[in-house]
Chain A
Amino acid sequence: MFDQLVYLDNAAATRLDERVLEAMKPYFFDTYWVATSQFGYSLGIDAKDALDAARTVIADALGAAPEEFIFTSGSTESSNAALKGVALALREKKGKHLITSRIEDFSVLHSARALERQGFRVTYLGVDEYGRIDLDELRAAITPATILVSIQSANQEIGTTQDLSAIGAICREREVLFHTDATHWFPRVPLDVRETPVDLITVTAHLIHGPKGIGGLYVRQGTPLSKWMDGGFQEFNLRGGVENIPGAVGFAKAVELVTPEETDRLRSMRDDLIRRLLQIPESRLNGHPTCRLPHNANVSFRFVEGESILLHMDMRGFAVSTGSACFSRSLEASHVILGIGGDHERAHGSVRFTFGRFNEKADVKAVAEAISDVIVRLRAISPLGKE
């Protein structure tokens, strides 16, 4: 369709790395058996070995023991398992109160709402203009009935990162479990459970050039967690269902391929892009200037609408995303932009650019020039900003 597609929506999905596919292939054709117990047939034991090895790689990357990590179908399932699993385990023993933030991804927000319908109480913490929660507000929200605090590591749209160590310390002191959705963080930003007091971590493969349909949940040893989805005894009896072994192997390979050098490269492209975009008049950065994911840029342009920007960019061969209501599946403006105190207008003209492994330095200049051109065009036909 285009001579060249410049893909800058790596927070939505990433292109699979060939090396990941190569690692996965044998588990479709050669070692395709289910992982049987150690007393099963030898073929199944090969499958189990592969699963265990993959588990060890990812657990290592988190500083965890292998038996503290379970595979799931992705972030949405992991966060459902964390919130609903803790709720089921502690509703009788401790209480029915959870704390989260207003700018979480829908897997957490909608799980929380589902629990509210089951009689749980949920506190949704507000965030400051950059998207960070207030630690004092968190402290004040914890009650003796609080069973779980779920605060994302980094935001899906504006890339703002939270102070996980500080949040974890508060939860530890008040003896409340802490879950973090690290979908957009892991493993680009280091997270080690031996240093950071966190009990449950949601992770996924599809944003680091791994396959879709595989993710995982770190569960600290001893964390009370009930099964929310019924099935067999797989994954330490925490997640039933035939194991996705090719997926697990691919996830592990994808984790191994992420390096600090690569992350630095993404950060430098991202910084260059932000610098160029902010030269466009009436533009502003959404999210924190420094406490932010290395591969995320999110900028609002006044007087223009995101879906129109996106379509014009698409025609020029660029894939980006927007928080505009017109683009959302529910016709609602981004709850994240509104959450950081932005109005509909700011959400309307917000554009998210997320970098990945296959972006090149030249993409930055190209996308900045294209955006600049599109904004000029759309502003020319806008009734706003002319007085």
Chain B
Amino acid sequence: MPLPYSEKVMEHFRHPRNVGRMENPDAKSVEGSPACGDMVAVYLKVDEESLRIEDIKFESYGCASNIATGSIITEMAKGKTLEEAKQIGWRQASDALGGLPPIKTHCSVLAVDGLRAAIQNYEERHGLIKERVPTTVEEIRRRLRRVMNPVVGLDLVRTNLVKEIELADGRVRVVVDLPSDHQFAANIHEEIIEKIEPLWDVEKVVVEFTE
């Protein structure tokens, strides 16, 4: 049996590019936390005129998939404009790495989120961002597209596991079409909370399972 990780993943894991801390970055982000598992920090140097990413660095407290994704997306983002870099998704990152095992896609999403959050941080710092908009069910659904179903490595929305989304008075209820004793129920539960809770006007997130 071949190793679960592609040669490209292992290569980036062994020799991560653009790794380390940046002095005086123009923007930075930290996604994840030690408590929830993986954690990624992304640092940017951006040219004010062209809004191009001149330099980028990342740090990872995570598994091989997380380190390799951090490495590949920093390579991909370097030299791109912020708008271009925003378009880098986990799927492109995963393709560039020669694929990731389904169960590991969530670690790779975190690294991609780190890049997006760093770009957002730059935009906020430089007044490039519009007014805060109230959360909608659509926005929640968009975020749930970043929660992976580890069985197949595709997101919950695409694999039809989101049965119901309810939003009222800052309270979000998500019903997942899986039994509560499913192998990945605890993981999916945690990931949904992680993705929805940071929304500025969301106070409580409740995740329910159908059985």
Residues of A whose CB lies within 8 Å of any CB of B are 113, 303-305, 307-308, 311, 315, 324-327, 329-333, 343-345, 348, 380-384, 386
Contacts and interface: CB of A to CB of B under 8 A. Distances in A.
A380 B36 CA distance: 21
Contacts of A305: 38, 61-63, 66
B64 A330 contact: no
Dominant SS at the B interface?
A: mixed
B133 interface: no
B64 A311 contact: yes
A330 B61 contact: no
Contact of A344 (B36, B65, B184): B36
B168 interface: no
B135 interface: no
A348 to B, nearest CB: 6
A383 B16 CA distance: 14
Given A305-B62, A308-B63, 5 more contacts: A113-B181, A311-B13, A330-B187, A331-B184, A383-B59
Nearest to B70: A381
B60 A326 contact: no
10 contacts: A303-B61, A307-B64, A308-B13, A308-B62, A325-B187, A326-B38, A344-B34, A380-B20, A381-B16, A383-B40
B64 A308 contact: yes
Contacts of B60: 381-383
Contact of A330 (B63, B66, B186): B186
B25 to A, nearest CB: 13
B59 A382 contact: yes
A303 B65 CA distance: 17
A331 B150 contact: yes
A132 B103 CA distance: 33
Given A311-B64, A344-B37, A386-B21, A329 B59 contact: no
Contact of A348 (B34, B64, B106, B150): B34
B14 interface: yes
A9 B150 CA distance: 26
Interface string B99-116: 000011011000000000
Contacts of B128: none
Nearest to A311: B64
Given A305-B63, A307-B64, A324-B63, A345 B35 contact: yes
A308 B64 CA distance: 5
A184 B107 CA distance: 33
Interface residues of B, number: 35
Nearest to B42: A383
A326 B37 contact: yes
A307 B39 CA distance: 14
B37 A333 contact: yes
Contacts of B14: 315
A278 B41 CA distance: 28
Given A332-B186, A384-B39, A308 B181 contact: no
A275 B41 CA distance: 33
B38 A381 contact: no
Interface string B178-210: 000101101100000000000000000000000
Contacts of B64: 307-308, 311
B46 interface: no
The residue among A329, A343, A345, A380 with the most chain B CB atoms within 10 A of its own CB is A345
Given A331-B103, A344-B34, A384 B61 contact: yes
Contacts of A303: 61
A120 B19 CA distance: 53
A308 B67 contact: yes
Interface in B135-165: 150
Contacts of A332: 186-187
Contacts of B35: 343-345
B30 interface: yes
Contacts of A326: 37-38, 62-63, 65-66, 104, 107
Contacts of A382: 59-61
Given A304-B61, A311-B13, A345-B35, A381 B183 contact: no
Contacts of A304: 61
Contacts of A383: 21, 30, 39-41, 59-61
Contacts of B62: 305, 308, 326
Nearest to A385: B61
Contacts of A315: 14
Contact of A381 (B30, B36, B59, B107): B59
Nearest to A307: B63
A344 B186 CA distance: 13
A124 to B, nearest CB: 15
Considering the complex of A and B, which 5 residue pairs feature the smallest CB-CB distances, nearest first? A326-B63, A383-B41, A383-B59, A307-B63, A331-B187
